[in-house]
Each structure stands twice: as C-alpha cells, then as structure tokens.
Amino acid sequence: DCNLSTTVLELLYTLLENSGENQRLLNKLYGLSLVAYFLERVSPLHLTSTALDIIIKLYDRLEWSPIGQNSIVEAFLCNFKLWVFTSFDIQSKLMQWLVNFSESQPQQMKEIVCVQKLLDDLYLLYGYEKPDIDLNSNSNSEADADINADTGAGTGVDAGVGSNSNPKSLNGTIYMNDGWINEQTGEVSGERLPPSLLKYIRGYLLHILYNLLTVDESPFPEEVEAVVEYIIKCESSTAKIEGLRLLLRIMNEGNDSISPSRVLLGLACCHGVHALLPLHSHECAQVRIYTGLVFCKIINLSAMYRLLPSVPMGSSYAAMLNPNTDIGGSSHPHGEASYVDIKGGPSPTHVAVNLTSE
C-alpha cells in the first residue's frame, strides 16, 4: 500500500504539531532518525509528492522549535537516500525547497548539513557514473560511515580508491544500483534518473553548495580542500567541469566579499594548486579550458592581494587567518611561510596561496 508512508507521516505530524513534550521525547530517542531509517528500507513508491508535502508542512508547523525544524531537515529533507529513486518531479520539488531554504537561511542550513556531506551525496548518490568504492580501505570519512551503515561492512570505504564495482559485494546498496531493489523478492521499483534529468538535480545541489560556501566567513580551508578533492576524484569529465565552475564562482564574488581571499587561503593550506595542475593535460578539452580559467583567476587574485607565497604542509589555519600574525619572511625548510611582495597593487593582506614549489 503506497499510502502507508503518508499515513505514518500524518501521524507524526499529529504527534508533533502542538506538543513540545512529544518533540523533546522524539529528539531524546532519535525518533525522527528512526522513522527515516525505516523509510529508507521501503519502496520509493511510498515517498510520494503528498508525503513530501506533509514533511514540509511539519517543518513549517514547528516554527516555534528551531531544534525540531533542524531535525526535520536533517532526517528527511536532506536525507537524499530517501529520494534518489523517486520521480524527477518529486526530487525537483524537494531541491527547489532546499535551494530556497539555503538562500533564506544559509547559516541554519550550514548547521544542519556540511559542505563535505553534500559533496559526498553528489559523488555517491547523484554521480554521472557509479562511484568507485573499495570496502577494503581503512578511510574514516563521513561517507565511509554512511556506506558501512548501508552495507553492514566493518571496514571503511574510500570513494576515490579501488575498483570494486560489484553490486553484490555491497549487499545491494543504493550507491551502486540503478534502482531500488527489494532484498527479499529482488523486485526493482524506482530508478536512478538518466543523465539528461540528473544534471538538473545536480545543478540544484551545486547551487546549495555555492550558498553554503559564501555565507559569512566561508569558505573554510577544509571546505576548499573538500571541493578540490571532489574535483580530482570524480571520473566524469562533466562532474569535474561542474566542480571547477563552482570553484570559479566562489572566487568571482564581488570585491566586498571575503570568499575569494579565503579560497586562496584554502588552496594554500591543502596544496590545491598542485593538486589541480595535472588537469591541464586532461583528455577532455573543456576540463583543460576550465582548469586554465581557474589558474588565471588564482593568479589574478594573487596579484591583487600582492602575495605569491608558498605555504608548506602543517601551517596553522588560525595563524594565517589572524591579520595581526606575521606569516611573511624568508623561505624556511622547516615550515615557515614565505611570500613575494608584488609592488604597486593594493595593500598586502595575510592571505596566502600555494603557487611555488616546496
């Protein structure tokens, strides 16, 4: 009965609508996460447009409880494992709501879902190609824990290492299958979107990422590193181009924005320039073109800030972010940063970018 999930969500709405006590009890017992867990294990045919409307209505009704609203977004609306095999219309409706939410409440959105989580979803759930994951890796990323929870595996998964693409080895996990598979009957219901429609869903997710990467003092160095790592690990040329365009967008913010300077800082801290350099020889011409545009923008911003420094591994993010901290000086083999002051530009800032060899 495809109305079963709708009935359960309506019951949940009734329980939480005007009861702070019920909401606190559900939070204490992780009730919303438990409901989402069971919904992941039923056919996506149960997750109808009506079910999505009830979840959104429940979010709106809990305006008196920010914690309750955040729990709804985290457990249901940003839990893309629930929606990945639903119809394009349902997924598009969900993504439009999330885009509006990330634009109107970017800081709240960032408290609920981090940049790394969205990049993991882009790679694992909404990739143009099936992810290349290895159950024998010892990685400890958030995505690994997610996959282990789905497969029951005891070891980590590195989304960028290995070539184990056998769906059976992943116990029918959604990361590898083209549709939702009933573990008992083998029946397939719901299908992964074709590339012609998938690109629109990815566009929504990339727009949300942009909103999170440009809020307040964002992006943080680890967020820039996550974007660079995503670009490098993606097998699809189209996905690489989308990642490079995202990097360009956050560097192209207006002069009053802090984003471009923090992108330079993030690239310096993770040696992102060196990591992106091999893309200049990528087999896809468009990847090479966008890589060239990224490098031109990096050089342009570096000249504007009058700094062409070298920042070695292990440099403190906190020290570099502090404008009163002197990170200049001569190059030192044991970890001190160095820079070349370009004359004639704006006054130097404390921002650095890794453009020279270590």
Predicted pLDDT at 229: 95
Helix (H, G, I), strand (E, B) or coil at 195: helix
Predicted pLDDT at 323: 43
Amino acid identity of residue 78, one-letter, is C
- Residue 37: Cβ within 10 Å count: 15
* Token code pair at residue 171: 């116990």
Predicted pLDDT at 115: 94
d(CA 289, CA 292): 5
pTM: 0.74
CA angle 333, 325, 115 (to 5 degrees): 85
Predicted pLDDT at 275: 92
HSE-up of residue 298 (Cα within 13 Å, Cβ side)? 27
The single residue listed with the structure tokens 């939410």 is 101
Q: Alpha carbon of 13 to those of 56, 67, 72, 332: distances in Å?
A: 10, 16, 11, 62
HSE-up of residue 305 (Cα within 13 Å, Cβ side)? 22
* Token code pair at residue 16: 């939480």
Predicted pLDDT at 79: 94
d(CA 140, CA 157): 8
Provide the β-strand partners of residue 189.
Answer: 180
DSSP at 326: -
Do 243 and 234 form a contact (C-beta atoms < 8 A)? yes
pLDDT digits (tens, 9 = 90+) for 214-229: 887 778 889 999 999 9
Predicted pLDDT at 32: 76
Per-residue pLDDT of the chain (358 residues; tens, 9 = 90+): 567 677 777 777 777 666 666 666 666 656 677 778 888 888 888 888 998 998 898 888 877 778 878 888 998 999 999 999 999 999 999 999 999 999 999 999 999 999 999 999 999 999 998 777 654 444 444 444 454 444 333 333 333 322 333 333 233 456 667 777 777 777 777 888 999 999 999 999 999 999 999 887 778 889 999 999 999 999 999 999 999 999 999 988 664 567 777 888 888 888 888 899 999 999 999 999 999 999 999 888 888 766 554 444 444 444 444 444 443 333 333 333 333 343 344 433 333 433 333 3
